[in-house]
Amino acid sequence: MVISEYSSTAYRQIIDTVQEAVFIVNGNEEIEYANKMASDFLKVSNDELIGTCFNDFIDGFISDNQCRFYRKGNNNQFYGQIVRYNLYENHDCIIVSECNKKLHLMASVFESTKEAAIILDSKGIALLINQSFTEITGYQLNDIIGTFPKMLVSELQNDVFYQSIRDHLSLNGYWKGEVVNYRKNGELCSILLTISQIVDDDSHYYVAMFSDITSIKEREKNLEKMVQLSSVFPNRQMVIESIKLFTRDIRYDGVSILCVDVVGAIDVYGTSVKFKLLSIIKERLERLLSASDQLLKLDNELFILMCEGLDVTDLITSVIESVNLPIELNQQLLSFTCNVGVRLVKKSETINGDELLRQVEQTMVRASLDGKNTFAYFDVKQNEVLQHRLMMQEEIKKGLENNEFILYYQPKVHMKEGKIEGFEALVRWNHPTRGILAPGVFLEYVENNPLSLLFDDYVFRKVLQQMSEWLPHNIEVSINISATTLEQSNFIDHLVELLQLYPPINPNNICIELLESTSINNIEYVTTLIQQMKVLGVKVALDDFGTGYSSLTYLRLLPVDIVKIDQSFVKEVIIRPNDFIILEGVVNLSRSFNRMIIAEGVETLEHERLLMRLGVQRIQGYSVSRPIPSDKVIPFVLSFTPHKEWQQIKSIDRIYFPALLSEIEHRAWANMVEFSLSTSKLNPTVCRFHQWLHNELERSSDKREQLMKLEDYHQFVHQQALSYSQGIISIEAFKEASNALLAHLEAFFDKL
Ligand code: C2E
Ligand code: CA
Ligand code: CA
């Protein structure tokens, strides 16, 4: 057949009656023939159709045999089902029938939606896109159709991500999520993408639809940034400025500043939800305030309220109540608590906004330590103490840098052997303006603070340096170490490092004193430390023994070499029977655990005598020497002469400890007689001394004579006490009798 034959009127009439559009195209896809329906479909005259490329009318494929056509004159595309078969040589007959209504409708939805849409075949090759796709991505039909669309895949997501999409699709038939990709012009864009799998009879397709969420994402990011930034500087500065203004011209007696910290699971939500929650709370707080008050948002969950007047009791209650009111979110009730810090600013006060904000925040933190829904008022006095503390710490730090701290040394002696056993290093602050300061003045600012690490390190180095100068004299030195230093995990390593600085120093000449109270928290840990120190050859002493709560436990468990009996028991032991009972107990215990004992705070010969009687030979105290400057130590060692009494005083057997106690009791009683405080005990037969004498007489008949003599003295003392209380004799006469008894008792002990 030839073309003229198709165009012959007869054929035309037949083909024109067909309800489908019929095209005959040549090898170049140029239309050589089109029927009337074809012109009707495409709204193009037959003359125009002839010679035009068939593909020029196609706008895209929905599937291999369904495509969208351009319609001339309006934007109204139509969808057609194509059947193509070869007529002869290079000529094809293409029959296009309009798609059914449903498909058409679907297609028009596809077109009109604001979402970008793209249809892909089973291999992911693009068949069709809509107008929104072009608008969002910048890609035209020609760029996309027949290709594997780059738009949906980029290196911004990794292979694992894409594989997870494929897995989800094959399992569920759809996937939804956020993806970041490039537009045609190279710009980044975030899309919210839904991919659905559509299964046809024999094959399947994918419809991917997405919306551009770049601006939303950017807004979110900005919001996040703003929230972050506001917690750092600009917003804070703004709050400070507002506080400054608010406290400048105070009208009434003063103003109140409240810092409200909202507590609850706010951070678990995204920025926008978080923002919403905080806005709701902010609105509620705003409702509590009057027109002249002010509400500001500081940091993430912090609000600052400022109001006139100094009575905010009701306001605090309302603030807590309104924060506590639940908030509904996604059919869930969320509840929050808060902590409130209050700073009352009196009219007379002048203080800057910066400081006020800091103070009210600190107060809020203090309130939060008491639990939920708590409040606290800023305490001016407490603040002064705190400020002073900070100032002192600063000054001490500088003092350490300037080498202002020096060490004094107090000798430890063995009385019976009459020799110095070592010295305890005791720090002093050689203050540039205040002179030499004792540790009681400054140590409290160092304790329980990282500063004590610096401090102890300073002291340790100074001691080592000093010891290296004293090497020929082989002097043992005790060093006090704070709990903070001891608790450092690298304590032992650091100790080793320090010891390595001066290898000639014998670690055995170093004794580390740990406070008994230090060990309370972690007895196992401290035990290990002590063992490690002993391996290094360093001695360990338990300082201030007896002051803790469980002294006996420590004594039993801690493998210390030395126990230093706290001076509080020693100082008054000669006149306080209770102290003697404790001292005696500690001495007995230390002995049974095989610990060396040092008594601290030994001030007089009487102390020395009592201790020696008890068998405590090692002492430290003013009776031997006060702490002395380092340059006095060697002269002290060289000129040291033991007290001559040390040779004479003997320790006594335990069975005579009750006698010691009755002696102390008598001394205590004698002191009270002077002030007529204890006339009730004037009867000598109820006195403990009498009871001891009585028992002793029964027990040891060989000492009968001495004991009877003592009893005479004892009776005489009581008689004199009575005479003194009746005003017959002077106090001196009474004391003489009392001292005579004590002297005879001592003589009795000496002869034992
Ligand atoms: P401590 O370790 O119990 O030291 C003994 C304290 O008692 C010293 O006070 C000493 O001067 C004083 N003392 C000694 N004998 C007598 C006495 O017979 N009567 C009286 N009333 N007091 C006596 P100091 O030097 O004022 O030290 C007080 C505390 O400060 C020390 O008590 C110790 O816990 C601490 N300390 C001293 N130097 C240092 C140091 O370098 N580092 C550390 N971390 N703490 C130190
Ligand atoms: Ca000590
Ligand atoms: Ca001590």
- The pocket around ligand 1, CB under 6 angstroms, is made up of 410, 425-427, 438-440, 443, 456, 459, 480, 482, 513, 543-544, 567, 600-603, 620-622, 627
Ligand 1, atom 30, lies closest to the CA of 439
pLDDT tens digit sequence for 320-330:
999 999 998 87
Measured distance CA(300)–CA(13) in Å, rounded: 81
Q: Are 564 and 598 in contact (CB under 8 A)?
A: yes
CA of 543 to the centre of ligand 2 (A): 5
Measured distance CA(205)–CA(197) in Å, rounded: 6
The larger pLDDT score, comparing residue 172 to residue 408, is at: 408
CA of 481 to the centre of ligand 1 (A): 12
Residues in the chain: 752
Ligand 1, atom 42, lies closest to the CA of 480
What is the residue whose two structure tokens read 């800091």? 358
CA of 465 to the centre of ligand 1 (A): 21
Ligand 1, atom 4, lies closest to the CA of 426
Q: In this structure, which ligand is nearest to the CA of 571? A: 1
Q: In this structure, which ligand is nearest to the CA of 564? A: 3
DSSP string, 170-211: HHHSEEEEEEEEE-TTS-EEEEEEEEEEEE-SS-EEEEEEEE
Task: Please state the rounded mean pLDDT for residues 110-115.
Answer: 77
Task: Please state the rounded mean pLDDT for residues 48-55.
Answer: 89
Q: In this structure, which ligand is nearest to the CA of 512? A: 2
Give buried/exposed letters for 389-399 (b at 16+ CB in 10 A, else e). eeebbebbeeb
CA of 426 to the centre of ligand 1 (A): 6
Q: Are 672 and 678 in contact (CB under 8 A)?
A: yes
Q: In this structure, which ligand is nearest to the CA of 514? A: 2
pLDDT tens digit sequence for 234-264:
478 888 988 988 998 888 889 999 999 998 8
CA of 162 to the centre of ligand 2 (A): 70
Q: Are 308 and 251 in contact (CB under 8 A)?
A: yes
Q: Which of 480, 516, 628 to mutate to test the pocket of ligand 1 (most atoms within 8 A of CB)?
A: 480
Mean of all residue pLDDT scores within the chain: 86
As given in the structure block, the two tokens for residue 351 are 């203080």
CA of 427 to the centre of ligand 1 (A): 8
pLDDT at 58 over 80: yes
> What is the Cα Rg of the chain in Å?
49
Ligand 1, atom 43, lies closest to the CA of 480
What percent of the chain shows pLDDT beyond 70? 91
- Residue 207 has a pLDDT of 84
- At 189, the amino acid letter reads C
The larger pLDDT score, comparing residue 544 to residue 224, is at: 544
- Least confident range from 176-190, 327-341, 377-391: namely 176-190
- Residue 518 has a pLDDT of 66
DSSP string, 401-440: HTT-EEEEEEEEEETTTTEEEEEEEEEEEEETTTEEE-HH
Q: In this structure, which ligand is nearest to the CA of 620? A: 1
The larger pLDDT score, comparing residue 37 to residue 467, is at: 467
Q: Which of 600, 624, 626, 628 to mutate to test the pocket of ligand 1 (most atoms within 8 A of CB)?
A: 600
Measured distance CA(356)–CA(156) in Å, rounded: 48
CA of 328 to the centre of ligand 3 (A): 62
pLDDT at 16 over 90: no
Q: Are strands 78-88 and 188-199 parallel, antiparallel or unpaired?
A: unpaired
CA of 746 to the centre of ligand 3 (A): 29
What is the residue whose two structure tokens read 């109204």? 76
Measured distance CA(166)–CA(170) in Å, rounded: 6
The larger pLDDT score, comparing residue 721 to residue 149, is at: 721
Task: Please state the rounded mean pLDDT for residues 16-23.
Answer: 82
Measured distance CA(596)–CA(615) in Å, rounded: 11
Ligand 3 is a single-atom ion; what residues have CB below 5 A from it?
Answer: 543-544, 600
Ligand 1, atom 33, lies closest to the CA of 480
- Residue 224 has a pLDDT of 61
- Residue 632 has a pLDDT of 97
- Is residue 61 helix, strand or coil? strand
Measured distance CA(652)–CA(613) in Å, rounded: 5
Number of Cβ atoms within 10 Å of the Cβ of 497: 10
Measured distance CA(111)–CA(108) in Å, rounded: 5
As given in the structure block, the two tokens for residue 398 are 């500088």
Q: Sorting pLDDT into bands at 50, 70 and 90, what band is 216?
A: confident
What is the residue whose two structure tokens read 């009683």? 669
Ligand 1, atom 22, lies closest to the CA of 601
DSSP E strands, 508-561:
510-515, 539-545
Q: Single out the residue of 541, 563, 558, 576 nearest to residue 616, CA to CA.
A: 563
DSSP E strands, 535-627:
539-545, 562-565, 596-600, 618-620
Query: Among positive and negative, which fits the CA dihedral 148, 154, 159, 165?
Result: negative
The larger pLDDT score, comparing residue 751 to residue 392, is at: 392
Q: Are 132 and 114 in contact (CB under 8 A)?
A: yes
Can you list the pairs that 345-350 forms with residues at least 24 positions away whose Cβ atoms lie under 8 Å? 345/247, 345/250, 345/254, 345/255, 345/256, 345/257, 346/253, 346/254, 346/310, 347/250, 347/252, 347/253, 347/254, 349/254
Q: Single out the residue of 546, 538, 585 nearest to residue 554, CA to CA.
A: 546
Q: Are 515 and 543 in contact (CB under 8 A)?
A: yes
CA of 440 to the centre of ligand 1 (A): 8
Angle at 555 between CA 550 and CA 560, to 5 degrees: 135
Task: Please state the rounded mean pLDDT for residues 458-468.
Answer: 97
- Residue 400 has a pLDDT of 97
| Residues facing residue 175 across a β-bridge | 195
Distance of CA 198 to the CA centre of its chain: 55
CA of 597 to the centre of ligand 1 (A): 17
Q: Which of 408, 413, 424, 426 to mutate to test the pocket of ligand 1 (most atoms within 8 A of CB)?
A: 426
DSSP string, 675-695: TT--GGGG-GGGSHHHHHHHH
- Residue 77 has a pLDDT of 66
Ligand 1, atom 7, lies closest to the CA of 601
Q: Single out the residue of 623, 628, 635, 636 nearest to residue 409, CA to CA.
A: 628
CA of 484 to the centre of ligand 1 (A): 18
| Residues facing residue 306 across a β-bridge | 257, 294
Ligand 1, atom 41, lies closest to the CA of 427
pLDDT at 3 over 60: no
Q: In this structure, which ligand is nearest to the CA of 481? A: 1
What is the residue whose two structure tokens read 């033991």? 642
CA of 564 to the centre of ligand 3 (A): 6
